[in-house]
């Protein structure tokens, strides 16, 4: 029975956000996905699970992450801009909020082996990290092109004991790594849990990952209350690859109509250049990696190879929650080009002493496209730190 979407953040029983979502999976994976679907909410609701998850977020990840008033950035934009410092999480990005949650889910499901896909390598590192923590075998699929441009993260995964398998098909980036991971899961479904790194994939992954990442907006509400007297900002802003850091930042604000939701995609060389990853601008409804969402595709349904300077945003799709935010116009969708992101990475470094990830730099760049009032309170999710991108940044020093 399909129910109507009760809110922007919670999908229907079958995993639909409006018309997007669902679980389009090969028969071989039905048992795994169905097991996860029928159990994830009960597992996540179990008091013992919650206690261990929260303990790890505090003692291992380093939560709560600070909410920082960026004064010099604020002055430039003539408003008040707070940065939610996910870059200070253990391993350097928000990804670990989700992998800590999913490694505990995998244990409850009795799985002995973990596979994952990764783009920028942040999700691969976060997965390898929790697998080391729990002594579980870990295999990470990564596009060959990304292995080259995110070398420090490849080294980190190997140091943590993971096996990194190159994906050599297509554009040799995140989409192709995801294809390889799904193929590997089909070959070995029983003992293996697939830790998907974003709010993509078949139901219940988008909802499960969004719930694990929702700690970002949960903390932001009380932190804002302490700093400004109100739990609600005027705007929340985040970059979107698949959309997990954005889902975390938007989650507890999506059903608050006064809060403007701003999602920033990777424009690449420009949205109409043929070298872009701006899915909502270029996409049409289609099915990729197990869910129905917006997708960059040709008229006959071939996936268009995306382009972005940032490996974490170089993906031709977007999570179904975000497709629905776009379709219903609840969210404002912008894009920033490779060059604009680079410029903003240098700008934030010099204005605030914070070197952001290239992915995050797209969100910072989009501030230039928005009109703000001095009384606005803008929270930008600083999804990750830029250490992994130094090889790119060094070309521009």
Ligand X SMILES: *Cc1c(COP(=O)(O)O)cnc(C)c1O
Residues near ligand X, by CB under 6 A? 93, 95, 120, 122-123, 198, 239-246, 312-313, 357, 359-360, 383-384
Inter-residue contact 167 to 141 (CB < 8 Å): yes
Which of the following is catalytic: 117, 265, 352, 359?
117
Using CA of residue 244, residue 340, residue 118, residue 154, what is the dihedral sign?
Answer: negative
Considering beta carbons, is residue 86 or 376 the nearer one to ligand X?
Answer: 86
Which of the following is catalytic: 180, 292, 383, 388?
383
Is 258 one of the annotated active-site residues of the chain?
A: no
CA neighbours closer than 13 Å in the CB half-sphere of residue 15: 29
Tell the smallest beta-carbon distance from residue 392 to ligand X (Å). 13
The 3 state secondary structure assigned to 112-151 is: CEEEEEECCCHHHHHHHHHHHHHCCEEEEEEEHHHHHHCH
Tell the smallest beta-carbon distance from residue 375 to ligand X (Å). 29
Calculate the alpha carbon distances from 347 to 34, 79, 224, 342, 344 in Å.
46, 17, 25, 9, 5
Alpha-carbon gap, residue 272 to 374, rounded angstroms: 33
- 38: three-class secondary structure by DSSP: helix
Considering beta carbons, is residue 32 or 308 the nearer one to ligand X?
Answer: 308
Cα Rg of the chain, angstroms: 19
Which of the following is catalytic: 95, 111, 145, 292?
95
Using alpha carbons, select from 352, 380, 314 the residue that is nearest to residue 119. Answer: 314
Considering beta carbons, is residue 333 or 376 the nearer one to ligand X?
Answer: 333
Considering beta carbons, is residue 189 or 266 the nearer one to ligand X?
Answer: 266
> What does the angle CA 117 – CA 254 – CA 370 come to, to the nearest 5 degrees?
90
Q: What share of the chain is helix, strand, coil (3-state, %, to 5)?
A: 45, 20, 35
Tell the smallest beta-carbon distance from residue 169 to ligand X (Å). 21
Tell the smallest beta-carbon distance from residue 12 to ligand X (Å). 22
- Looking at beta carbons, which residue is closest to ligand X? 384
Considering beta carbons, is residue 15 or 121 the nearer one to ligand X?
Answer: 121
Is 117 one of the annotated active-site residues of the chain?
A: yes
Is 9 one of the annotated active-site residues of the chain?
A: no
Considering beta carbons, is residue 313 or 380 the nearer one to ligand X?
Answer: 313
Considering beta carbons, is residue 81 or 380 the nearer one to ligand X?
Answer: 380
Considering beta carbons, is residue 233 or 242 the nearer one to ligand X?
Answer: 242
Tell the smallest beta-carbon distance from residue 115 to ligand X (Å). 17
Alpha-carbon gap, residue 309 to 359, rounded angstroms: 9
**How many whole angstroms from its chain centre is CA 260?**
19
Total residues found in the chain within this entry: 397
Tell the smallest beta-carbon distance from residue 185 to ligand X (Å). 19
Alpha helices in 188-286 (DSSP H): 205-213, 215-228, 244-250, 279-282
Tell the smallest beta-carbon distance from residue 391 to ligand X (Å). 16
- Count helices and strands (H / E) in the chain: 16, 14
Alpha-carbon gap, residue 256 to 45, rounded angstroms: 24
Tell the smallest beta-carbon distance from residue 198 to ligand X (Å). 3
| Strand partners for 238 | 263
Catalytic residue IDs: 95, 117, 383
């Amino acid at each position: 029975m399909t129910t109507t979407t009760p809110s922007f953040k919670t999908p229907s029983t079958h995993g639909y956000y409006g018309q997007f979502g669902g679980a389009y999976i090969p028969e071989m994976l039905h048992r795994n996905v169905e097991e996860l679907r029928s159990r994830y909410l009960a597992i996540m609701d179990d008091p013992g699970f919650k206690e261990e998850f929260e303990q790890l977020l505090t003692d291992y990840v380093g939560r709560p992450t600070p909410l920082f008033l960026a004064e010099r950035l604020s002055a430039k934009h003539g408003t008040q801009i707070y940065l939610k410092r996910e870059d200070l999480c253990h391993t350097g990005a928000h990804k670990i909020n989700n992998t800590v949650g999913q490694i505990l889910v995998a244990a409850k499901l009795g799985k002995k082996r973990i596979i994952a896909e990764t783009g920028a390598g942040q999700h691969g590192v976060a997965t390898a990290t929790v697998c080391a923590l729990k002594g579980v075998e870990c295999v990470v699929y990564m596009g060959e092109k990304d292995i080259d441009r995110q070398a420090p993260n490849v080294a980190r995964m190997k140091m943590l004991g993971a096996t990194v398998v190159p994906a050599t098909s297509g554009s040799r980036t995140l989409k192709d790594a995801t294809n390889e991971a799904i193929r590997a899961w089909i070959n070995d479904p029983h003992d293996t849990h697939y830790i998907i790194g974003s709010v993509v994939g078949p139901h219940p992954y988008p909802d499960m990952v969004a719930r694990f990442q929702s700690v970002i907006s949960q903390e932001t509400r009380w932190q804002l209350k302490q700093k400004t007297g109100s739990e609600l900002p005027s705007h929340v802003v985040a970059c979107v690859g698949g959309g997990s850091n954005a889902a975390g930042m938007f989650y507890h604000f999506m059903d608050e109509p006064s809060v403007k939701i701003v999602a920033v995609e990777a424009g690449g060389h420009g949205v109409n250049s043929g070298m872009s990853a701006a899915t909502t601008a270029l996409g049409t409804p289609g099915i990729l990696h197990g869910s129905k969402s917006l997708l960059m595709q040709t008229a006959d349904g071939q996936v268009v190879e995306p382009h972005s300077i940032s490996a974490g945003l170089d993906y031709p799709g977007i999570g179904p929650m975000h497709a629905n935010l776009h379709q219903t116009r609840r969210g404002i969708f912008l894009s920033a080009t490779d060059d604009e992101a680079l410029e903003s990475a240098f700008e934030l470094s010099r204005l605030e002493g914070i070197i952001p990830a290239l992915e995050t730099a797209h969100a910072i760049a989009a501030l230039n496209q928005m009109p703000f009032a001095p009384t606005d309170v803008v929270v930008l999710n600083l999804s990750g730190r830029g250490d992994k991108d130094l090889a790119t940044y060094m070309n521009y020093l």
